[in-house]
Structure 1
């Protein structure tokens, strides 16, 4: 019985010790799924609960191993053993805090995209999440202010809103970006998670290259998206948050998009969202009335100009264009001199709408321009055009409120309604899209090789700095021994000699650290060379680059 009692006492100590370790780990990692009364009520229940969190389970397992390896973490054990210098629970807590920090700061960075598009998300949510081009720099700044986001870019169009980031910690980065998107848009996190897509590293790269090539567009092969990707680069240049990896990604995407359009026929006869909108109007109007329908275009920006261009291509010879200023309309009028293009100001918009049968809206307004109360006041249209006024809204956020659909004399269509028009020409371009995939794969391979080669950049810099310190020190020794009677040309000759020796010695190692994606050396070999040089010359630092970045960000956030 004495043995049994002793065994029970030892087991209770071990249980208390393990429980303390888990309690601390739970508090550090934020486990809300455990109650304080049943952390380790039985081995089976704890293991089944922890199975839901595999990565955290490994951490807790390490915590328990640490606990078992110590003399004691339990005050009662310390009293029994009577040890004078005993580790306190506070020191154990500090130990575990350090362990938790080390665990995630030593993760490798991830390139990822978190987004929504016309395939995953209805326009009602897309318009809330859309970010106007003028706000992209601010969005990049806010994203890079998050603890685990190092670089960022925003691609927001009428069909998509995608956030590209380099995350210092993959899982925490995703969480922070989604919470940022929710806070900015007012869309709950739970609803966002229902619609968002998430891609990492090579998959994220391939996705952007397909987007830039027009393969992921509502209108397969459209050309406007390439200009929008270019605009991301233009607006991000000079922004520290639009860093080396993200800017390189988007520049490679432009190259991929240009190659696909040059080397395949995917863009031949393809349509844009604007031309699809014009085609939709043609489908919805009675065939005999298309040539005589009165047309109003609200907005003379990029989308508006394309609408006008495609209207003219379909035979429209007269239209009214409403815009804030006349400059853009005058430029369009100069380009299409054979067409009667009448400019009207925004103040005249409702008057113009009352005289129109078909209204195209394509502005960057954050608020609807047409609401139910506005449309109800408009006079009815002629029965020659079907008795309904057509509103074709290709703006995101929408320029025509959804409430307008309740008006009997109006029919409202938005970008999501263009699918029926696009489907007619999609099959022909699917085969062309297959041709484009091989080009995209080549460009993805090149970009991944370039991106992976960036891992060796810190080693290259440290190796050169190491060699430079030795060269400078030895040169100083030499100069001091030579005395002050040396001429400038002699000093220069000795300096050039030292630089020449260093450069020739470093040439071989540097070549074996660089990866252009065109040589035959596999990336694994280059990374092995990097690790070997780090060991040989003791170039590794005690704190990883990622850890330094995360600690710095978190430190700024606490100030």
Structure 2
């Protein structure tokens, strides 16, 4: 992968909190836009970064340079920063669908993207959450500023969008803000439709993909698992999922809202695509009282399965080559396919016969796909109206008071889970010190035992006597270490105790000159160099 200088100057004015995330970042020339970068085309996702020998050589040289600078003068600068959990991304709240679809990463490419991100100089761990409403990258960064810069440049290269343009829409959050954001996402609090259930399944899928590929590190794995726990608790303890709780259900709500009330259930419904989203659309239409639904799909197997599940609804299967003729007989067309190219363009819709005045004389296209299945040009027609995922905000406005109350209850749960995760992560800091202090004491014990045995002579002591002396010395060391080690262990349930534990850790590092933190950081950077050289 084309690497950047490992210790370049950091960004100025980068937002660190959610309040600042929506501010436009200062313009800066993209360092990642070149003629050889990878990009996502309408035909699929393509990453070509790091494929030629010159770029690999540059990556190795950059990594070695980072280590040399670290050894020479950069150690103190790095030690001012703890490895940060960060999220950088864009969502339906900050970015139009036109840009989201360019940055969307198909699930089949998540593992590859994680590998490329982890190859960056300052990124230890990574995960990708890409859905129709968001594309977010979660990382553990050796350096917050350097790591974020590298991820931004990676995003620019994989999408073909200059960093300067991306920066207008990206949000960036760090540590507790990043953790809270993921917990809110998992709980459905950051979704277009509050409490939607599908996002929780997508967060779970991130963990499954990461486990299958071996791509998730210890911190990111625990972060996502705790986010799943938070999402489950919010849904079970607040009843936040009642009503329209998914993009699919909101799409149905929106369509029925736009139709004349007297004829909404008699309108002719067409669903294109019988995947997860399409199936949910069909289920929600059924729950609203629709008795006849036409479904266009590549094959009949999924439609047969849905028909078997919804026996009270007449579900009519049509093959893909009958999509246009089926649309000619529909009042409302829902599109939910994985097609990279639009299924409906202006000339297609313009050729369709008009719909009945009983349903308003306008044909509705509700497109919940990213990339979009209905071209933006269709909205130029007088007898057609197009709605995509960004238009679902109208549905969100319903029952606002009740949603806000449930959201407040959910935040209490999220705060509890956030404290639990941060306590776990903070407690990890003392583990290397415990190991190094134990190793330090054992080295002294073994050295003194060797001196002792040499004074007695080789044959003066029996094996039993040597073992007794070794056990006695080991017991002395254990008793001397018991107090310090107990003060380095903490379950994180008491913030005061945790603060004291971390103070004790720093004190022991100073007293015994353990240099634990610097050693760990140097090991991490060495690992990066070895990975680049391989």
Which TM-score band (shorter chain)?
0.7 to 0.9
Q: Say yes or no: does 1:295 pair with 2:269.
A: yes
Gaps of 5+ in 2: 1-6, 11-66
Query: Which residue matches 2:74?
Result: 101
1:514 equivalent among 473, 489, 498: 489
Following superposition, the deviation at residue 497 of structure 1 comes to 8.6
Q: Say yes or no: does 1:155 pair with 2:129.
A: yes
Q: After the TM superposition, which of the residue ranges 278-287 and 141-150 deviates more from structure 2?
A: 278-287
Q: Is the 8 A contact 2:123 2:142 kept in 1?
A: yes
Q: How many residues align?
A: 467
Query: Which residue matches 1:316?
Result: 290
CA distance in 2, matches of 1:253, 1:193: 27
Q: After the TM superposition, which of the residue ranges 172-181 and 426-435 deviates more from structure 2?
A: 426-435
Task: Between the two structures, name the one with larger relative contact order (CA 8 Å, sep ≥ 6).
Answer: 2
Query: Which residue matches 1:268?
Result: 242
Residue by residue over 1:349-386, the C-alpha shift from the partner in whole angstroms, topping out at 9 and shown as x without a partner, is: 23322322211112233222222233234333333322
SS in 1 for 2:429: helix
Change (3 A) 1:380 1:484: farther
CA distance in 2, matches of 1:287, 1:131: 39
CA distance in 1, matches of 2:114, 2:75: 27
Change (3 A) 1:475 1:547: closer
Query: Which residue matches 2:528?
Result: 553
Q: Say yes or no: does 1:187 pair with 2:170.
A: no
Residue by residue over 1:232-277, the C-alpha shift from the partner in whole angstroms, topping out at 9 and shown as x without a partner, is: 1111115454111111111111111122222223223353211111
Query: Which residue matches 2:231?
Result: 257
Query: Which residue matches 1:247?
Result: 221
Q: After the TM superposition, which of the residue ranges 168-177 and 222-231 deviates more from structure 2?
A: 222-231
Following superposition, the deviation at residue 472 of structure 1 comes to 7.1
SS in 1 for 2:167: helix
Q: Is the 8 A contact 1:296 1:320 kept in 2?
A: yes
Change (3 A) 1:168 1:295: same
Structure whose residues are more often helix by fraction: 1
Change (3 A) 1:281 1:544: same
Query: Which residue matches 1:225?
Result: 199
1:336-347 map, 5 Å: 336-347=310-321
Following superposition, the deviation at residue 174 of structure 1 comes to 1.1
Q: Is the 8 A contact 1:105 1:550 kept in 2?
A: no
Change (3 A) 1:392 1:465: same
CA RMSD of aligned residues (A): 3.3
Following superposition, the deviation at residue 536 of structure 1 comes to 4.4
Query: Which residue matches 2:173?
Result: 199
Q: Say yes or no: does 1:327 pair with 2:298.
A: no
CA distance in 2, matches of 1:504, 1:521: 26
SS in 2 for 1:534: helix
CA distance in 1, matches of 2:68, 2:292: 77
Q: Say yes or no: does 1:175 pair with 2:132.
A: no
Change (3 A) 1:291 1:522: same
Q: Is the 8 A contact 2:88 2:173 kept in 1?
A: yes
Change (3 A) 1:96 1:546: closer
CA distance in 2, matches of 1:317, 1:503: 75
Change (3 A) 1:533 1:404: same
Following superposition, the deviation at residue 146 of structure 1 comes to 0.7
Residue by residue over 1:54-90, the C-alpha shift from the partner in whole angstroms, topping out at 9 and shown as x without a partner, is: xxxxxxxxxxxxxxxxxxxxxxxxxxxxxxxxxxxxx
Following superposition, the deviation at residue 460 of structure 1 comes to 2.5
Following superposition, the deviation at residue 467 of structure 1 comes to 5.0
Query: Which residue matches 1:393?
Result: 367
1:45-84 map, 5 Å: none
CA distance in 1, matches of 2:286, 2:271: 12
Q: Say yes or no: does 1:452 pair with 2:426.
A: yes
CA distance in 2, matches of 1:322, 1:554: 52
Change (3 A) 1:422 1:228: same
Change (3 A) 1:98 1:350: same
Query: Which residue matches 1:277?
Result: 251
1:419-498 map, 5 Å: 419-467=393-441
Query: Which residue matches 1:404?
Result: 378
Following superposition, the deviation at residue 419 of structure 1 comes to 1.0
Q: Is the 8 A contact 1:368 1:401 kept in 2?
A: yes
1:359 equivalent among 333, 337, 359: 333
CA distance in 2, matches of 1:239, 1:513: 34
1:540 equivalent among 504, 515, 524: 515
Change (3 A) 1:434 1:485: closer
Residue by residue over 1:169-209, the C-alpha shift from the partner in whole angstroms, topping out at 9 and shown as x without a partner, is: 11111111111111111222111111111111111111111
Change (3 A) 1:101 1:558: farther
CA distance in 2, matches of 1:154, 1:290: 39
Residue by residue over 1:20-77, the C-alpha shift from the partner in whole angstroms, topping out at 9 and shown as x without a partner, is: xxxxxxxx9579xxxxxxxxxxxxxxxxxxxxxxxxxxxxxxxxxxxxxxxxxxxxxx
Query: Which residue matches 1:3?
Result: none
Gaps of 5+ in 1: 1-27, 32-93
Query: Which residue matches 2:15?
Result: none
The two structures have a TM-score, normalised by structure 1, of 0.75
Following superposition, the deviation at residue 151 of structure 1 comes to 0.7
SS in 2 for 1:544: helix
Change (3 A) 1:542 1:519: closer
Q: Is the 8 A contact 2:294 2:318 kept in 1?
A: yes
